[in-house]
Amino acid sequence: MSATWFDDDRARPAPETIAVAGVQLGRGSRVRLQPRASADPFDLTLAGRIAVVAGIEQDHDDRVQVAVTLEDSQGRSLGGGAQLGHRFFFSPEELEPLPAVPRILVAGIGNIFLADDGFGVAVAQRLLARAQPAGVAVVDVGIRGLDLAYTLQEGWDAVILIDAAPRGEVPGTLSVVEPALDAADGRAPDAHAMDPVHVLRLAARLGTVPARVRLIACEPATVTPVSETQIAAELSERVRAAIEPAVALVERLVRELQDEPTTLAEEAHP
């Protein structure tokens, strides 16, 4: 079923984790769905699929159900109510725990109507068309900074942000940066700002930021339309040519973050 399985008004506080086959499962745990033979036909179609635990719910009779999202469902990761249609509920006995893998969020940021500012979105769209390793989710965030801040509360081990950012390089140059969140200027985070550092600071105010954060920044040629009455929905030639190298860079960073949880030095890739 893809909606809340009981009356919310009768819900009781649920445990953060539950034991299944001797393994503690909680938000972010990977499982294989094994619906019982008497399950409804739709649940049976999900048999054998890999899913990620999104939450644990409990009713007044102490019945526990586990909310999951399919691992290959790219729409599951963009915070708050956007996920609800992708949730399914299973009893603990219908879940097979799987070995833990690092959970990495890859988020493309930008405004597609401001020329090269849409670079992060273009890279995310390219990645969404490719198969991703277990534990990796790609989202096209666009300009939804608040949604991204809430999504970062979902227990990710690492996040890779992709954005256009002027750094004084040749247009199209890719740089890998570790944002300095401790260099705050004392102002409260702006919930409407889409700058990656502002979003990360907002996420920190909400609760948590992944331990490892990488920003892939592309030097833009232009991010403004010709006039206020026009839009610039195309990337410049040099920035467009940087999309595939950025895809390869994301895939390399994912491998490094999964295999060697070490700090990456800032680097530039002309």
Alpha-carbon radius of gyration of the chain = 20
Provide the residue-wise pLDDT of the chain in tens; the chain has 270 residues. Answer: 444 454 555 556 778 899 999 999 998 899 999 999 888 888 899 999 999 898 899 888 888 999 998 887 654 445 444 443 478 999 999 999 999 889 899 999 999 988 999 999 999 999 999 999 988 999 999 989 899 998 898 889 999 999 999 999 999 999 999 987 765 555 555 544 568 888 998 899 988 899 999 999 999 998 665 555 566 778 999 999 999 999 999 999 999 998 865 443 334 444
CATH number of 8-97: 2.30.30
| pLDDT attached to residue 12 | 63
Distance set, CA 138 to CA 91, 129, 149, 202, 223 (Å): 28, 10, 15, 21, 24
Predicted local confidence at residue 50, as pLDDT: 92
* CATH superfamily label, 104-269: HybD-like (3.40.50.1450)
Residues 134, 154: Cα–Cα separation, whole Å? 16
The residue extents of the domains of the chain are 8-97, 104-269
Residue 227, classed as helix, strand or coil, is coil
How far is Cα 228 from Cα 226, in angstroms, rounded to an integer?
7
DSSP string, 196-213: HHHHHHHHHHHT---SEE
Q: At what angle do helices 119-128 and 243-259 cross, to 10 degrees?
A: 70
User: What's the rounded Cα separation, in Å, for the pair 124 and 3?
Assistant: 28
Pairing of strands 158-164, 212-218: parallel
Residue 98's nearest CA partner among 20, 35, 170, 168 is 20
State how far the Cα of 84 lies from the Cα of 154, in Å rounded to an integer: 14
